Structures are given as C-alpha cells and as structure tokens.
Copies of this chain bind each other. A is one copy, B any other.
Amino acid sequence: MNPLKQYLKANIDLITTRLVEFASIPSISAERAYAPAVRQAAEWVAARMQAVGLRNVRIVDTARHPVVLGDWLDAPGQPTVLIYGHYDVQVVDPLGSWQTPPFEPQVRNGRLYGRGVSDDKGPLLTAIEAVGSHLAVNGRLPVQVKFMLEGEEEIGSPSMEDFLRSHAIDLACDVVLSTDGAMWPPGRPSLSVASRGMASLEVVVQGACKDLHSGRHGGTAPNALIALAQVLGSLRTPEGRITVEGFYDGVAEPTECERAEIAAVPYSEADYCAEMQLKPGFGEPGYSLLERQWVRPTLDVVGMGGGYQGEGIKTVIPASAWAKISCRLVSGQDPHDICEKITRHLHAHCPPGVHLEASIKEGGVPAYRIASDHPGLKIAAAVLQDLYGEAPLVVRIGATLPVTDAFRRHLQADTLFFAFASADEDYHAPNEFFRLQRLEDGLLGWAEFLGRMENMDPALMKGIKSHDCI
C-alpha cells in the first residue's frame, strides 16, 4: 500500500470526526440570522487549511459572505490547480422531517446524516485532507495548489463575479477542480463533462388602460390574458420543439459517439415517467430522454399570471398579464442572442390591440463543456477506473453551473468536477447524508489525482479543443 493511502486510511476516523465538527456549524447562507455561523464555518475551514500546511490562508470579505483563500506554490514549473468548493449550506426546512437534528450529524448504516455533509462540506474537507496527506507524508505537493472556498453557493454566488474579476491574478491557474457536484446515477462512478446554460426574460402584455367589466366592454376591449396565451402558446410545438426562429442555430446534433456515451448510462425512461407521473406524447421528437435533458436546449414558462386570482368568477377583462420565460442552453447558443430571438418572436406573434414588452434578465450563462481531450479528464477517469474497477460513466448536467462560466471568463480555465457526493444524498432536502465509503474514496481519489497531475504540460489544459467523446 502506498504511504499516502496508508496515511489516509489511518486517519479516516479522525477526518470523519472533523467532518462532524464542521457540519455542526449551521452555516446557512440564505438566512441573515445565520451570518455569524457562516463566518464561523469560514474560520473553521481556514484553521483546517492552516493546520494541514497550506500557506497564505486568509478570509476575504465580500458584500455578503467571505471567501477563504490559501495556497501552496512551492512546486515551480508544475501545473497550478485551483480547488473550488463551498462551506455554506442549504436551509433546513421542513425541520420536522429530519430524523435527527440537521446540525447534530450522526452516523447510521455507513452514512453520515446532517445538513451540508454531502453538499459540500464532506467533499470540501476531502480535498483539504487529501492535500494535507501529501504535505504530511512527503512534505510537499506534486503540483501548485490554490484554494478558493466560497460561502454563497446556495444563494447563487452573487459575489463571485466581482470576486473573480478583482482576484483574477491571485487565482490564475491551469485548471479548476471542483469538490462540488455529484456522481449520477448513484452507486456507479461517473464524471460530469457538461452543463447547460441559462437565459431568462420577462414579458408583460398590456391591453386597455385598466381592467374593464366584461359586460360593458366585452367584444371591444382586448384581453391581455388571451393575447399572452396566444404569444406563449406559439413558442413551442405541442410536442415541445421550440419554434422561435433561429433558436437552434449553431446547436450541433449529438455525434454518434456522444449518443453512445449517453446511451451507456443505465436509465429507465419508463421508471422516470412513472415516478413523475408523466403522460406520453411530450418531448422533442428524435431524441432519447437523457438527450433531451442533457444536450438539447429548452424553453419553459416558469410563471404566468393576470386577471382575477380569487375564488369563483369575476367578470373582468384583464388589462395586463405577465409571464417569466427561462431557457436551458447548449453549446453554440449565446444567452443574449437567444433572448433577442425570443423577444422578436414574442413581438411577431403578439395579436393586435395589445402592447407587449419583453425584458431580458441579467445573468444569462452559456452552456459549459470541458474539452473532451482535457488531460485532467483523462486522469480523473483513470483514477476512478482504478478506484472502482470499472470505467466511469460519462454524464452531463441538465442544470446550469454559473461558476464554470465565470472561471472560464476570468481565469481562462476549464473546471473539472471531481465529485464524490452522490445525486441521491438528499442535499437541499431533509435527512441529507454522505456515504462514508465515498469519503474514503474521495480522499484516496483526490490524493491520487494530484499525484498524477505532476509534470503534466499546463499548455494542454488551456483552450477548448474537442467536444466529442473522452
């Protein structure tokens, strides 16, 4: 057994105890009342970083919650790895559904239960301890390492854009390794290689100057709700293909190889439909269920309203109506361009007699995809293969990870999700847990990963090369 592995296995109980201590701090970033606990968690993290031998450890304030930085840069000529994670946690409601208190972590059946243990305190601590094992065993790290651990992930990282802009030089790196993320499907090793982007807009339709009585004015006053329905109803075919002109411009069809990669993920469409109680008939023709969720863009109306909202009927012709539209984007789509195309469609399909106004929401994010020939990806796959005795599944994320885009823009670096949490661990829900086996796997995996990065040519990690299969 190599000395790193030996060291980590010898320390696993101690590390588990540290995680229990860390997860006992109620660092709920969404609730102002918990701001002191969020800072306490930042201080805990900083102390642990210091203890394992990281240097320049510091807590940097932002408009909301602080970022913890630290580094070890004594391996000149080696690649620079920026390790990203977050020490804040989700809210705990509904509290009554927890079997044990969320901030009194308990082990049951090989699982540690508590808020934040899976998302992201367990994985974050894993990375610190893995770095620590190299320093303890070898007195050095195989690569240059920087840490950036935020406290706002669960509230959408509002300070990260400014923080990365102002710390771009400090944080310069060749690749970002994220502790955050999750393997999916649970129980199988997997690597996420892509996530969808996002673009959103709001639309308001105005008819007459005020709501009008449907008896007096019915037949002459335009109905803002019907106008809005006509506009929104025109955005998709009944099956869900988006009809906005140019929406799919630049969107590449999945290659045979990508389709095979996706098809290799064991997944029952029938089980999914049964679980979500989906009736047949919806879904863009020509794509499998996972393809629709991973490599096809979407357009959804996420909220809509207008007119009388109470019980029964009020005979009114609503003068105004509103809707919120949100898209998930894939490679080849620019968020602002998509919003402009949708805006043009909305105006083109607006019936006469009403005024339509669309406003593009800030914060659009393009889709993210790590280059399929990124050397970090190959190493991660090899590490997982060795750890689990099987090749990892290559999966994608239908959701949006804004931080990946921010890292790419401000640091010109790709982000690799080297995640040991599992997608079924009820993060964001009561009774969140983290499999203790995955804590051990993560420690060994991260230590091994850093070792294999040694002597890699940093130039190979820069710039998108290929987006086909790994």
Does any Cβ of B come within 8 Å of A244's Cβ? no
| Nearest Cβ on chain B to A291's Cβ, whole angstroms | 8
Which of A14-22, A250-258, A352-360, A404-412 contacts the other chain? A352-360
Q: What are the residues of chain B within 8 A of A352 when measuring CB–CB?
A: 238-239, 279-282
Instruction: Using known A-B contacts A217-B293, A220-B283, A278-B221, determine if residue A318 contacts B303 with beta carbons closer than 8 Å.
Output: yes
Q: What are the residues of chain B within 8 A of A233 when measuring CB–CB?
A: 226, 229-234
| A209 and B277 within 8 A (CB) | yes
| A302 and B318 within 8 A (CB) | yes
Q: 1/0 contact trace for A319-330 toward B, CB 8 Å?
A: 001011010100
Does any Cβ of B come within 8 Å of A111's Cβ? no
Does any Cβ of B come within 8 Å of A101's Cβ? no
Which of A88-96, A136-144, A307-315 contacts the other chain? A307-315
Does any Cβ of B come within 8 Å of A228's Cβ? yes
Closest B residue to A312 by beta carbon equals B361
Interface residues of A in 346-368 (CB under 8 A from B): 351-355, 361
Q: How far is the CA of A221 from the CA of B207 in the complex (A)?
A: 32
| A218 and B293 within 8 A (CB) | yes
Does any Cβ of B come within 8 Å of A261's Cβ? no
| B400 and A215 within 8 A (CB) | yes
| A222 and B398 within 8 A (CB) | no
Q: What are the residues of chain B within 8 A of A312 when measuring CB–CB?
A: 361
| A217 and B398 within 8 A (CB) | yes
Does any Cβ of B come within 8 Å of A235's Cβ? yes
- Identify which of B282, B284, B317, B353 contacts A279 (C-beta below 8 A): B353
Q: What are the residues of chain B within 8 A of A305 when measuring CB–CB?
A: 304-306, 309
| B229 and A293 within 8 A (CB) | no
| Nearest Cβ on chain B to A343's Cβ, whole angstroms | 16
Does any Cβ of B come within 8 Å of A345's Cβ? no
| A398 and B221 within 8 A (CB) | no
Q: 1/0 contact trace for A189-219 toward B, CB 8 Å?
A: 0000000101010100001111011111111
Q: What are the residues of chain B within 8 A of A198 when measuring CB–CB?
A: 315
| Nearest Cβ on chain B to A244's Cβ, whole angstroms | 13
Q: What are the residues of chain B within 8 A of A282 when measuring CB–CB?
A: 207, 220-222, 351-354
Closest B residue to A325 by beta carbon equals B313
Q: How far is the CA of A353 from the CA of B238 in the complex (A)?
A: 9
Does any Cβ of B come within 8 Å of A292's Cβ? yes
Q: For the complex formed by this chain, how many copies does it contain in all?
A: 2
Q: What are the residues of chain B within 8 A of A431 when measuring CB–CB?
A: none
| B225 and A303 within 8 A (CB) | yes
Q: How far is the CA of A221 from the CA of B298 in the complex (A)?
A: 11
| Nearest Cβ on chain B to A429's Cβ, whole angstroms | 12
Q: What are the residues of chain B within 8 A of A218 when measuring CB–CB?
A: 196, 293, 298, 300, 328, 398
Q: How far is the CA of A217 from the CA of B316 in the complex (A)?
A: 36
| B302 and A398 within 8 A (CB) | no
Q: What are the residues of chain B within 8 A of A276 when measuring CB–CB?
A: 208-210, 212, 217, 221
Q: How far is the CA of A296 from the CA of B215 in the complex (A)?
A: 11
Does any Cβ of B come within 8 Å of A301's Cβ? yes
Instruction: Using known A-B contacts A353-B281, A398-B219, determine if residue A301 contacts B209 with beta carbons closer than 8 Å.
Output: no
A-B contacts, 27 of them at CB < 8 A, read: A196-B215, A202-B313, A215-B397, A215-B398, A216-B293, A219-B287, A219-B298, A219-B328, A221-B278, A225-B302, A225-B303, A226-B235, A226-B236, A226-B301, A228-B229, A229-B229, A230-B238, A233-B233, A282-B351, A300-B315, A302-B314, A302-B315, A303-B310, A305-B306, A308-B324, A314-B324, A315-B326
> What is the interface of chain A, defined by CB distance below 8 A to chain B?
196, 198, 200, 202, 207-210, 212-223, 225-226, 228-236, 238-240, 272, 276-284, 287, 289, 292-293, 296, 298, 300-310, 312-318, 321, 323-324, 326, 328, 351-355, 361, 397-400
Beyond A217-B276, A222-B240, 10 additional contacts (C-beta under 8 Å) are A200-B313, A217-B293, A219-B398, A220-B282, A225-B303, A279-B353, A281-B351, A282-B352, A302-B318, A308-B324
